[in-house]
Structure 1
Amino acid sequence: MLKSYQITPTYTPLKKDLEHKINFKTKPIGALGKLENLAIQIGLIQNTLSPKISYPTLVVFAGDHGIVAEGVSPYPQEVTWQMVMNFVSGGAAINVFAKQNGWDILVVDAGVNYTFPTSLPIKNLKINFGTKNFLNEPAMSDEEVDKAVKTGADLVNQIHQKGSNCIAFGEMGIGNTSAAAIIMSKITNIPINECAGKGTGLDDEGLKNKIEILSKATAYHHTTTPLAILKTYGGFEIAMICGAMLKAAELKMIIVVDGFIVTSALLVVHALHPQVINYCVFAHQSDENGHRKMLNYLNADPLLNLGMRLGEGTGAALALPLIQASVNFLNEMASFESAGVSESR
């Protein structure tokens, strides 16, 4: 059974003081646009006029999906473990962007259908060797989904205890856009054909097949509650991200939200605890079909729109310099008074 999380609202009484501090910087009011809103949000999360970013950590969760047997992806399932190997060897886009922008990166085996050598720098939190095929049965058992959520939460608690106050999540799992599309459809009541996209590169015929398979799966299972939806259609990596987000919000960490898959986890978490949204910074709008509608559903305003649809946490990794900039201008930019600059009349 899912434990309860104490997710409280951010400290809004400080908002006027933050706005005053920002408005008296040496700039026209509102001239830094989204960075000003971001500075206020982070100040409210940390309940301070001088927020800071400490040990930003990006966790990439990997897991396999039984629905791949139905041909919903142009890539075979073994690409999941092969890409995990690429992550730990430093050769993936997420490695490049994380290194460039100052993220600590942690790779987690949440449920890959492969046994990795214990000598590799992979956090082994495997629940099982991939989920079941949700066309025929629930992807996870009650015990598996509960364990995955708790495992994700426990990992974030460990990261927080090491001093991190800013966290992002990436994912790897062939077939996980199918899981995310159904989660989106079930939570938002948007038709599945408007949620499912080409994922890792399906052609038009492949997308048609994917939508047909997902439509059959939604008709087969009658699920309505967020946890039942997660259990029936989700992946171990998605479930761990759900637990990780819940714990991060409880610990008042900044949650940097990546793309389509990670936002599908947020849809589940938001349905359980709407207050979690206050702790979320939306990094980018993915080019995957449906992500814009996810963001609209959550009333989210992403920082970037670069036409990306890679996953792995790459959008979140690229957003850290903007997050840091919002904190830096709030803390370091001169005020009119301190700089001896005349204010507007």
Structure 2
Amino acid sequence: MRVWLAAALMLGVPAGAQGQSSTAQTEPEVTIRDCPENRYCTPERQAERRRVYDNAEAEALARRQATLRRVSFIDRNGKDMVSIGFVREPGRTPYVEVHTPRFDNGIEPEPLLASLSDSNWRRIDALLWEFRQLPKPSQLQDDSGVIRVCADGLGVFIETVDELPAKRAFGQPWAGVRVERQADHSCNGGAMIVYAGILADLAFDHFPECQSLPDVRYGASNTLRLCHSFLGDRLAAAEAYHFMKQHGYFEKLPAGQDQGTLFADASSDSFARFRDEIGERSVNLWKVHGLHADKVEMIANLTEHFWGAAARELGGNEDAGSMRVAEMTLQMVRTDSGFRIHSYTIGESRLIHFEE
């Protein structure tokens, strides 16, 4: 630093002005390191991913001299699940942010956002280089001739932004900024899948409002996805959701089991009516809103599917099928035993016919 200031004075240029190097003005180098799932890396797919997550473009962050570690998780059908980004921008404390795709109505919940400690940032910053030193995964057919088959899996798309190493030429402390993109898939057995999972675990530790949620498939990434979808007081929302999940509410309510404890009045009759009104319909939760510390609202669709003759009788196509949907709203309140159902309403059913 002293040498740098002395050089600036010798040249007759203010240190601050000389320190404003060409980094911010130079277009970043962009590299695709490895993309076995090429469909994840096309410019069109990248643009669509930024749109659904409302994420800043990596090149834009590079021009601001930010450092970035961002991973986007992709399900087995190629659908975006959740985006987790660790960012350090000039003049701002490093932070982690979580985004999920916008709701069907275009509304996106507030992102999960938390500051990072120095030790956590250093760990995240170094982790990438550790994993890039690992060998590439084995092929689907090994030396013994055994062919491995992977019928399901999880994809990841990783973006990083870093300043390039210092040039040796005096007066040019940074060569520029580098943007790198990389994809991997769990079926490939690649190290970057493990790297992405560790980033998700590190991110999860920074959001206490999500800690009460049960473990879900795909681990921390999917738990963060679920937590991000909650509105309002996420701490209360997660607690109420966990209670209902424990009691099988989001699958099928057990027909022969007394679960009166689901209700604030601890009434077996309340549960029996609730179970009978739901019947054989599937419960598809789409909104959990923490109204305040002691009250949570949940909204779900109750759906019935019809095929063949049953669909035809309803005016639908036998092969494509029909669906009857009704909206259910639950009001959850906190009791001495935790969150329970205070009241519920089920709206009128509407019929949907599918086309072939």
Alignment TM class, shorter chain as reference: under 0.3
User: Structure 1 or 2: larger strand share?
Assistant: 2
Which protein has the larger Cα radius of gyration, Structure 1 or Structure 2?
Answer: 2
Bigger relative contact order, structure 1 or 2, given CA contacts below 8 A and separation 6+? 1
TM-score (norm 1): 0.24
Query: Greater helix percent: which structure?
Result: 1
